[in-house]
Amino acid sequence: MARKKQSIGLNDPLRHTDHRRPVTRREMIAQGFKTGTATLLGTSMLGTFANRALAIDPDFQNSAFYDAATCKLGLSGGRKIPFICFDLAGGANFAGSNVLVGGPGGQRDSLSTAGYSKQGLPPDILPDAVNPNATTNDFIDDSLGLLFHSESAILQGIRQSASTAVGNTNGAVIPARSENDTGNNPHNPMYGIYKAGLQGSVLNLIGSRNSESGGNSMAPAMMLDPEARPTKVDRPEDTTGLVDVGDLGTVLPDPDSSDVVAVMEQMRRITDAKLSAVNTLLPGNPSDPDPDLRLKKRLYCEYLRSAHTLERFADPSSLDVLADPFIVDDVDGIFTRAEFDGDREFRKAASVMKLVVDGIAGCGTITMGGYDYHTGDRRTGEARDLRAGRCIGACLEYAARRNTPIMIYVFSDGSVFSNGMIDPMDTAALGIEKSVWTGDNQSTASSFYLVYDPVAQPTVMNQQIGFMRPSGDVETSATPGASNVNLLVETVILNYMALHGEEGLFDTASFFPGHGLGSGTARDSLLGFGQLPSITGGTIA
């Protein structure tokens, strides 16, 4: 008598017999042993104290170290498109069973039956098969512009969370290999997006992991900028904790008035005096003629930004995820209070998306663990894909309710494949026959991005950037990034700049002069979309 297979819970870790015991942080995230608890590494208490006076005393802006163009105080209007990336750690499936990926002719250029089987689709539910439950007579869904398989769990999750955003969303898929089960893939594009001009009014980069990239996967080494290291945010308490005068409010007799102001003014003056007395000039660096002044302007700017933060968000409830009825509300919220309180991934995603969409942060990374789901069944992966879709859809919907465009990029380290076996228990649980996930396979990997614009649905230039072989494997010669993760990141950044009509600036000295994407003509084939309708002069109108 066959032993009944036990189902793996949504939050249960994945114990693979063909993997070693997880010992590193990244291995634990990929297999779901480690999720998100947080310590916010943001503006320090002293930095906040030292700057409140500056918001009150305009004379501080007369300093030789003040540079309005660098500081960009009060950055809210005239900003770039908010950007969020989802780092699904472990090697999630995107191609075929979620986003359709075809041959050289695009998403509808069918692969072989064996190729689709490798991507988890048995013959009865191939994209162009007859679907008795759909008016289109196939298994293709175009409601998000980008073509998904109609039975995609990620699509179902997006549609559960997003309703307002659906009509004005579109996207592109990028078939590209990356190594399985490793954080050494330089997948994360946030530093490059920051260099392309996206900044927040309080923080520039945030991420749900305390890492150099803000996520599980690395950022390309040549793009790292120590001045922009991400602040960790993965729960609602982190958002309200951005603005806090700490112990000063308890040790002063009149903490809400002149005492706090007096202390901050004095600390500001001490800092000015110290900056004037220090010379950080390093000889022999012709590329930076005045590093001393540049450093002092940078320090001064950060103090100013902290001061503006405290002035703008004197009431921390304005940053409270739970107080935002668009996000948490039993009637009209993206999440009900019960499901929000009961799922740490929802809380994490909501915290990042609020800060990014509201312009408080520029870019954000949301890492979700447990996507190394080749567990010999299909239900485990479907449940996790559904939750990822819920979080992706929440970001789209929140942007729509805030009348703000957004770009969402979804990637994973490697991918999975199927040997075509069907599990009857999975079929009964899912209501449709799907193949089990058998093991890791980097050749079936891809990434995709979605773009929402409140003015109109973005117009497609290339819905699929690159293609797959009939066997269901990435054609590694199709694009520069198809077999090079660094160039995949450059492709994503190029596409982000194109949404602002700035793709022509990509290879200039101020941006990415040493890129590997080829000439301007060759780069046109790497663009999913051109300038969005809501963009004027390179920023949100």
pLDDT of residue 256 exceeding 60: no
Q: Measure the CA–CA gap between 130 and 121, rounded to whole angstroms.
A: 14
Contact, 217 vs 191, CB < 8 A?
no
Tens of pLDDT, residue by residue over 463-478, are: 999 999 999 999 999 9
Residues 135-140 have a mean pLDDT of 82
Q: What pLDDT does residue 282 have? A: 58
- Give the whole-number percent of the chain exceeding pLDDT 70: 75
Residues 293-303 have a mean pLDDT of 71
Which tokens belong to 113?
A: 């039956």
Contact, 204 vs 361, CB < 8 A?
yes
pLDDT of residue 299 exceeding 50: yes
Q: What pLDDT does residue 380 have? A: 94
What crossing angle do the helices spanning 45-56 and 291-312 adopt, rounded to 10°?
80
Helices and strands of the chain, counted as H and E runs: 16, 13
pLDDT band at 127, cuts 50/70/90? very high
Q: SS3 of 147, please? A: strand
Q: What pLDDT does residue 38 have? A: 38
Q: What pLDDT does residue 162 have? A: 96
Long-range contacts formed by 325-331: CB under 8 A, 24+ apart: 326/398, 326/401, 326/402, 327/354, 327/394, 327/398
* Conformational region of residue 28, where left means phi above 0, alpha means psi within -120 to 50, and beta covers everything else: alpha
Q: Tell me the residue length of the chain.
A: 541
Q: Which residues are 439's β-sheet partners?
A: 417
Q: What pLDDT does residue 448 have? A: 98
Q: Pick from 246, 198, 262: which is nearest to 43 by CA?
A: 246
Q: What pLDDT does residue 410 have? A: 98
Q: What pLDDT does residue 292 have? A: 74
Residues 146-160 have a mean pLDDT of 97
Tens of pLDDT, residue by residue over 214-249, are: 999 999 999 999 889 999 999 999 998 876 655 655
> Which one-letter DSSP state was computed for residue 58?
G
Pairwise pLDDT comparison (352 vs 43), residue with the higher score = 352
pLDDT of residue 59 exceeding 90: no
CB within 8 Å of 507: residues ≥ 6 apart: 513, 515, 520
pLDDT of residue 113 exceeding 80: yes
CA distances from 19 to 94, 180, 485 (A): 22, 11, 23
pLDDT band at 56, cuts 50/70/90? very low
Contact, 415 vs 120, CB < 8 A?
no
**Run of H or E residues at 435:** none
Structural Rg of the chain based on CA atoms: 24
pLDDT of residue 68 exceeding 70: no
pLDDT band at 421, cuts 50/70/90? very high
Q: Measure the CA–CA gap between 413 and 179, rounded to whole angstroms.
A: 6
Give the DSSP letter string of 263-323: HHHHHHHHHHHHHHH-----SS-TTSS-HHHHHHHHHHHHHHHHHHHHHHTSSGGGG-GGG
Q: What pLDDT does residue 51 have? A: 39
